[in-house]
Amino acid sequence: MVLMTGKEYVESLQRRKPLTIYLMGEKIDNPTTHPIIRASINSIALTYDLAHEPEHREIMTVKSSLTGDTINRFCHLHTSLEDLQNKVRMLRILGQRCGTCFQRCVGMDALNAVFLTTYEIDRSLGTDYNQRFTDYVRTAQEKDWVIDGCMTDPKGDRSKRPSEQRDPDVYVHITERRDDGVVIRGAKAHQTGAVNSHEHLIMPTLAMRNEDSDFTICCSVPADADGVTYYYGRQSCDLRRLDESAEGDIDCGNPMFGGQECLVIFEDVFVPYERVFMNGENEFCNRIVESFAAYHRQSYGGCKVGVGDVLIGAAASIAEYNGVLKASHIRDKITEMTHLNETLYSCGIACSAAGHETDAGNYLVDILLANVCKQNVTRFPYEIARLLQDIAGGLFVTCPSAKEMSNPDTRKVIEKYLVGADDIRTEDRIKMMRLIENLTLGRAAVGYLTESMHGAGSPQAQRIMINRLSNIEEKMKLAKDLARIRQQEDA
Ligand code: SF4
Ligand code: FE
């Protein structure tokens, strides 16, 4: 099945074997109908539905380099600089449409990173990982999978190597090597969209040394494999999703769409060798981590910009509802929000346009510029959100429940005192306030703010890469040459 619709995607999730999911003390039998989980599924479903919308087809779909078929871009190995830029454009559109994290990008980024790394391992060591992985990508494209790119291990005591941990399970590792495959144990934390995926593509989380070889494992595991358990992450205000009244929808702010993060446990999961793509090749851990991180840091120059567009729209709308849209300081703040947001987009496009073809044949972003992109993403969304809260006024955190609007007696009071500009319905003003709460404090804030900080690596991870790639020696030479300072050897 190539190019599923959103509905077909949901049906494909329902065909999986029952998953073991813990959410707020309960085991969830059917994730696709649970109100909290369903909102996150709706966000991914958009990645399927937009591929069928005529105005988005060109961005959302692409010709596969492996099969020649038209596939969803989320399963694609990038074959040009234009592909890299179209990826950023696609993520912006999706961020605009759902106002939160649509979860599917991690797998796309993992596919491209594992593809180029397995090629380089084979070239150096004579293994056949790339062919195996190419077969895997072909299947992913034909089945139009959502793949959870699994990189972040819980890590335990950060001062210790994986092999030095008191409990080795805080890193995914191989516990047994059999003739037909390996057995893995451990966990991956903060897994975006894990419950909504068809597959987990597991990668090592950091550079490994010889003593850590059992932790150097890249492999794929079906989401419904035996031994996989999900602990669903709570997000602020998530209980509002359980109130299925119309008023509950208003109080949700963004009732249709949500994100998802999980702690995923792998307890003695068997992986056949055709799904093993790295097995102890420690010297290539750096390459897979850096290339995956670079692709995902590029992604944030698209998705966060799309959500940023929603914040800017919310700022202008609430200013209109409050009767202050024409005030010059409001205009100026909205201009600043736009400037910051478009700067992030410029970074996403720039690291794509400055990318290059890898030896494996897919395209990789410029790693320095991708890290600069993400470093800006750790800052600018906070300022954009601050400006939105400034423009909104305090009502977005003090507003009475929407249920007060369904009782005629209390509604009269709310409408009298929470009225805004003439001709604006109080209910609409409340709806917009709730959306602002959601975007800057609630569930979507996890995807917009906290994920901007820590997703694809925390700020320090980018600073390490920026420092490593900044070529200070060359810049010192430029300065010294201009100052006509002779180098030691010339003197
Ligand atoms: Fe995609 Fe952005 Fe969510 Fe990462 S944070 S999965 S790039 S939408
Ligand atoms: Fe992310």
Q: Whose CA is nearest to atom 3 of ligand 1?
A: 101
Q: Which position has the token pair 């090749």? A: 281
Is the CATH number 1.20.140.10 carried by domain 288-477?
Answer: yes
| Mean pLDDT, the chain, integer | 97
Answer whether 421's CB lies under 8 Å from 322's CB. Answer: yes
Share of the chain above pLDDT 70, in %: 99
> Which ligand approaches the C-alpha of residue 304 most closely?
1
Q: Whose CA is nearest to atom 6 of ligand 1?
A: 103
Report the pLDDT value the prediction gives residue 490, as an integer from 0 to 100.
Answer: 65
The rounded Cα 415 to chain-centroid distance in angstroms is 39
Q: Is 348 exposed, middle or buried (0-12, 13-18, 19+ CB in 10 A)?
A: buried
Region for residue 370 given its phi and psi (left: phi exceeds 0; alpha: psi -120 to 50; beta: otherwise): alpha
Structure tokens at 176: 């047994």
Reply yes or no on whether the pLDDT at 491 is more than 70. Answer: no
Mean local confidence (pLDDT), 377-405: 97
Q: Model pTM? A: 0.97
Exactly one of 237, 262, 303, 373 is catalytic; which is it?
A: 303
Report the pLDDT value the prediction gives residue 486, as an integer from 0 to 100.
Answer: 84
Share of the chain above pLDDT 90, in %: 96
Report the pLDDT value the prediction gives residue 281, as an integer from 0 to 100.
Answer: 98
pLDDT in tens, 268-294: 999 999 999 999 999 999 999 999 999
Report the pLDDT value the prediction gives residue 457, as an integer from 0 to 100.
Answer: 94
Mean local confidence (pLDDT), 33-40: 96
State the pairing for strand pair 147-150/199-202.
parallel
pLDDT in tens, 339-375: 999 999 999 999 999 999 999 999 999 999 999 999 9
> Which ligand approaches the C-alpha of residue 193 most closely?
1
CA distance 427 to 437: 15
Q: For this structure, is 101 an active site residue? A: yes
Residue 41 Cα to ligand 1 midpoint, Å, equals 14
pLDDT in tens, 110-120: 999 999 999 99
pLDDT in tens, 178-202: 999 999 999 999 999 999 999 999 9
Q: For this structure, is 451 an active site residue? A: yes
Report the pLDDT value the prediction gives residue 443, as an integer from 0 to 100.
Answer: 78
Domain ranges of the chain: 288-477
Atom of ligand 1 nearest to the CA of 94: 8
Q: For this structure, is 105 an active site residue? A: yes
Question: Residue 489: pLDDT band by 50, 70, 90 thresholds?
Answer: low
Report the pLDDT value the prediction gives residue 400, as an integer from 0 to 100.
Answer: 97
CA distance 176 to 320: 63
Q: For this structure, is 399 an active site residue? A: no
Question: For a substitution probing ligand 1, which of 111, 300, 347 has the most ligand atoms within 8 Å of its CB?
Answer: 300
Q: Whose CA is nearest to atom 5 of ligand 1?
A: 101
CA distance 400 to 249: 14
Question: Residues with Cβ within 6 A of ligand 1?
Answer: 101-103, 105-106, 192, 299-300, 303, 447, 451, 455
Reply yes or no on whether the pLDDT at 1 is more than 60. Answer: no
CA distance 433 to 387: 14
Q: Is 491 exposed, middle or buried (0-12, 13-18, 19+ CB in 10 A)?
A: exposed
CA distance 66 to 220: 19
Atom of ligand 1 nearest to the CA of 303: 2
Atom of ligand 1 nearest to the CA of 102: 8
Reply yes or no on whether the pLDDT at 240 is more than 80. Answer: yes
H, E, C per residue of the chain: CCCCCHHHHHHHHHCCCCCEEEECCEECCCHHHCHHHHHHHHHHHHHHHHHHCCCCHHHHEEECCCCCCEEEHHHCCCCCHHHHHHHHHHHHHHHHHHCCCCCCHHHHHHHHHHHHHHHHHHHHHCCCHHHHHHHHHHHHHHHCCCEEEECCCCCCCCCCCHHHCCCHHHCCEEEEECCCEEEEEEEEEEEECHHHCCEEEECCCCCCCHHHHHHCEEEEEECCCCCEEEEECCCCCHHHHHCCCHHHHHHHCCCCCCCCEEEEEEEEEEEEHHHEEEECCHHHHHHHHHHHHHHHHHHHHHHHHHHHHHHHHHHHHHHHHHCCCCCHHHHHHHHHHHHHHHHHHHHHHHHHHCCEECCCCCEECCHHHHHHHHHHHCCHHHHHHHHHHHHHCCHHHHCCCHHHHCCHHHHHHHHHHCCCCCCCCHHHHHHHHHHHHHHHCCHHHHHHHHHHHHCCCCHHHHHHHHHHHCCHHHHHHHHHHHCCCCCCCCC
Q: Whose CA is nearest to atom 1 of ligand 1?
A: 105
| Number of neighbours of residue 472 by Cβ within 10 angstroms | 8
Report the pLDDT value the prediction gives residue 442, as an integer from 0 to 100.
Answer: 83
Atom of ligand 1 nearest to the CA of 451: 5
Q: Whose CA is nearest to atom 8 of ligand 1?
A: 101
Exactly one of 120, 199, 261, 290 is catalytic; which is it?
A: 261
